[in-house]
Amino acid sequence: MKLDKSLDAVKHAESLMPGGVNSPVRAFKSVGLSPIIVKKAKDDKIYDIDGNEYIDYVMSYGPMLLGHADERVVKSVWSAASEGFSFGATTEAEIELAGLINKHFPSIESVRLVNSGTEAVMSALRLARGFTGRSKIIKFEGCYHGHSDSMLVKAGSGALTTSVPSSAGITESLSKDTLVAVYNDISSVKELFSANKKEIAAVIIEPVAANMGVVLPKEGFLNELINLAHDNGSLIIFDEVITGFRLSNGGAQGLFGLKPDITCLGKIIGGGLPIGAFGGRKDIMKFLSPLGPVYQAGTLSGNPICVAAGIATLKAIESDDAVSKANSSANYLIDGLKNELKNFNDKITVNSISSILTIFFKGGGVLNFNDVMKSDTNRFKDFFSSVLNGGLFIAPSQYEAMFVSSKHTKSDLDKTVAIISEAIKKYFSNYKNL
């Protein structure tokens, strides 16, 4: 595979931007390679500036459920752009998008649009503190909720990939208000509530962890968590930035039949354009300005182009039955992988739900952050290099998910099984003592 143009572009980028990127995981640092520079994408394919074609399983880290450059979304974006880029005033389209979100997420009785998942979480935490009059937040090891200061404590995703799960620059006063529990361990949450009586404003969780790789909740864990929080006068915040409109049209909460107090959304509700949202019970949301004392604002919130893309995306997801299509394709892929790799169950674990999955280089199952950290990242490096050269684009990190879209074809899924299986079998045959 020729990457001459990408290599030259990376050198130029490094002279102008920190690490040559605008988000750390894109630097390919954890896999020891120079990154590809992307030119375009369509359906389930992505193309670099050297002309190489890849079957894409990054899918912009989740939102491209319809595949890249869906014609309906593109048409909607062009139409909105022709009428203006930003107004600083409310549009009818914002109201329509809010209605679509409420339709599929009944727990979101009232919603506020923002510009990213990070902003949604940051605002939701402020709202929870304002509503309860309490200061402390419980999060879980390895769960990533964006890069706001209070959430960069034992975080996942890019923070974990770059080996700084707790970032420099976070003050001690902020850190002490962020309490960290063990995912899938309700006893660790009980201990925090016991030690911080009437101080905890909210518990925030990815209902399915997808930022330390895919880690599923144990049966009953989320129900116990909700009951425990409510028994202690605290709110439950579901971060569904990744799982929303992907695990089901109603996200993880719709799939599991749960009702959080506040939900955070992002990415997919703008079809991959910059957007986020948080919403929940009306009595809580009434604490937001201009109705209440909790201030939150944004000049670009509800941007008309992003909102237009979101409306087109959510309507297409519904009309296409895109979640079911992506799930069916993911099941086909996973069944193929498990069949080909059944002799390696002591060396790898495949965690999956709906249309997201992670191949962990660790046998024996993965249930929490401690299990995740036992994965062999050196093996993953070799694996990543092999599948990239084979024509697959996956996240350059052991700690991320693979995303299947409604546009992944059977032919491409078969190719994927062959490329991944060959890479793993070749690796373990070369290192028989590992």
State yes or no: pLDDT of 156 exceeds 70: no
DSSP type of residue 358 = E
SS (H, E, C) 241-291: CCCCCCCCCCHHHHHHCCCCCEEEEEHHHHCCCCCEEEEECHHHHCCECCC
What pLDDT shows up at residue 168?
A: 74
Neighbours of 87 (CB within 10 A): 12
Do both 104 and 83 map to the same domain?
yes
Identify the domain containing residue 127 by its residue range. 71-319
SS (H, E, C) 291-343: CCCECCCCCCCCCHHHHHHHHHHHHHHHHHCHHHHHHHHHHHHHHHHHHHCHH
Q: Check residue 55 and give left, alpha or beta (phi > 0: left; psi -120 to 50: alpha).
A: beta
Confidence bin at 176 (pLDDT 50/70/90)? confident
> Where is the domain boundary, 268, 298, 319?
319
Who contacts 418 (Cβ-Cβ below 8 Å, separation ≥6)?
none
> Where is the domain boundary, 319, 334, 369?
319
Q: What's the whole-number average pLDDT of the chain?
A: 94
What pLDDT shows up at residue 158?
A: 44
Do both 151 and 120 map to the same domain?
yes
Q: What is the pLDDT of residues 336-381, one digit of tens each?
A: 999 999 999 899 999 999 999 999 999 999 999 999 999 999 999 9
Do both 91 and 190 map to the same domain?
yes
Q: What is the pLDDT of residues 120-144, one digit of tens each?
A: 999 999 999 999 999 999 999 999 8
Q: Could you give the residue numbers annotated as active site?
A: 144, 239, 267
- Alpha-carbon distance of 357 to 230, in angstroms, equals 31
Do both 57 and 75 map to the same domain?
no
What pLDDT shows up at residue 175?
A: 77
- The enclosing domain of 239 has a CATH number of 3.40.640.10
State yes or no: pLDDT of 109 exceeds 80: yes
| Phi, psi angles (nearest 5°) of residue 202 | -160, 160
Do both 15 and 50 map to the same domain?
yes
**Can you name the residues that pair with 82 across neighbouring β-strands?**
none
Do both 298 and 391 map to the same domain?
no
| Phi, psi angles (nearest 5°) of residue 6 | -65, -40
- Alpha-carbon distance of 33 to 343, in angstroms, equals 29
Question: Per residue in 221-237, is it b (16+ CB within 10 Å) or e — as a string?
Answer: bbeebbebbeebebbbb
Q: What is the pLDDT of residues 383-409, one digit of tens each?
A: 999 999 999 999 999 999 999 999 999
Task: Count the helix, strand and coil residues of the chain and give each as a percent rounded to the nearest 5.
Answer: 45, 15, 40
Do both 348 and 256 map to the same domain?
no
Strand order in the sheet with 392-393: 38-42, 45-48, 53-56, 392-393
Coil/strand/helix, residue 166? coil
Helix 92-104 to helix 304-320 angle, to the nearest 10 degrees? 40
- Alpha-carbon distance of 366 to 374, in angstroms, equals 9
Residue 131's Cα: distance from chain center in Å? 27
Contact of 145 with 139, CB cutoff 8 Å? yes
DSSP type of residue 49 = T
Structure tokens at 339: 């069949």
Do both 92 and 218 map to the same domain?
yes
Q: What is the pLDDT of residues 79-107, one digit of tens each?
A: 999 999 999 999 999 999 999 999 999 99
Do both 113 and 54 map to the same domain?
no
Q: CA-CA distances (angstroms) from residue 26 to 5, 63, 117?
A: 17, 17, 18
- Alpha-carbon distance of 210 to 242, in angstroms, equals 7
Q: What is the pLDDT of residues 237-249, one digit of tens each?
A: 999 999 999 999 9
Contact of 254 with 104, CB cutoff 8 Å? yes
Who contacts 152 (Cβ-Cβ below 8 Å, separation ≥6)?
159, 166, 167, 170
What's the structural domain count of the chain? 2
pTM (two decimals)? 0.94
- The enclosing domain of 402 has a CATH number of 3.90.1150.10
What pLDDT shows up at residue 434?
A: 42
Do both 169 and 312 map to the same domain?
yes
> Where is the domain boundary, 319, 338, 357?
319
What pLDDT shows up at residue 157?
A: 46
- Alpha-carbon distance of 423 to 380, in angstroms, equals 10
- Alpha-carbon distance of 360 to 350, in angstroms, equals 6
Do both 303 and 203 map to the same domain?
yes
Do both 243 and 210 map to the same domain?
yes
Cis amide linkage into residue 260, ω under 30° from 0: no
- Alpha-carbon distance of 317 to 66, in angstroms, equals 7
Mean pLDDT of 58-84: 98
- Alpha-carbon distance of 85 to 210, in angstroms, equals 33
State yes or no: pLDDT of 30 exceeds 50: yes
- Alpha-carbon distance of 256 to 247, in angstroms, equals 10
Count of H helices and E strands in the chain? 15, 14
